[in-house]
Amino acid sequence: MEIVSIAMSKKKGTSKEAVESAELLIDHGLKGDAHAGPWHRQVSFLAAESIENAHDRGLEVGFGDFAENIATRGINWLEVPIGTRVNLGKSAVVEITQIGKECHTRCAIYYKAGDCIMPKEGIFAKVLQGGSIRNGDTIRILTEINRK
């Protein structure tokens, strides 16, 4: 399980630009990202496999186009329960806080990509322990909360 893409944006509702590395800040998110702040959706994740499936269905999309902060390989995020703690890279730790989201309006991502998979396949987390992350870093599930 690994990080394959890290992306950030200065404005909400837009695609994110890929970066090689980033700093996760405790109770904030990715330093410099528009979605960061003291709330429960500090960092967003999407499986690279989901992005590739959207591309295979004819959407002209790549990493960052769904406004995900971190694209991963080897994890089915929809099977990771809320409350699970996840290690990213050497020291960062996040806790899963939300699976999917409700979109009230069609944002720039929808119009650019023709669809948005974040509401169905994206997950969100808050940062418990900060640290630097890079593309290629390992991801480890630390704890998993039993589903009720």
**Amino acid at site 126:** K
The count of domains in the chain is 1
Domain harbouring 110, CATH code: 2.40.33.20
Entry pTM: 0.87
Task: Express as a percent the part of the chain with pLDDT over 90.
Answer: 65
**36-62: pLDDT as tens digits:** 999 999 999 999 999 898 888 787 788
Closest CA to 46 of 25, 21, 24, 16: 16
In a domain, 148, yes or no: no
What is the β-pairing status of strands 21-25 and 131-134? antiparallel
In a domain, 59, yes or no: yes
Token pair, residue 9, equals 């944006």
Q: Alpha-carbon distance 101 to 119, whole Å?
A: 4
Residue 79 has pLDDT above 80, yes or no: yes
In a domain, 88, yes or no: yes
**The 3-state secondary structure of the chain, one letter per residue:** CEEEEEEECCCCCCCCEEECEEEEECCCEECCCCCCCCCCCCEEEEEHHHHHHHHHCCCCCCCCCCCCCEEEECCCHHHCCCCCEEEECCCEEEEEEEECCCCCCCCHHHHHHCCCCHHHHCEEEEEEECEEEECCCEEEEEECCCCC
Output the average pLDDT for the chain: 88
Contact 18, 63 (CB under 8 A): yes
In a domain, 57, yes or no: yes
**93-125: pLDDT as tens digits:** 999 999 986 665 655 555 655 556 676 788 999
In a domain, 61, yes or no: yes
In a domain, 103, yes or no: yes
User: What's the domain range around 94?
Assistant: 2-143
In a domain, 79, yes or no: yes
Which of 24-38, 98-112, 134-148 tops mean pLDDT?
A: 24-38
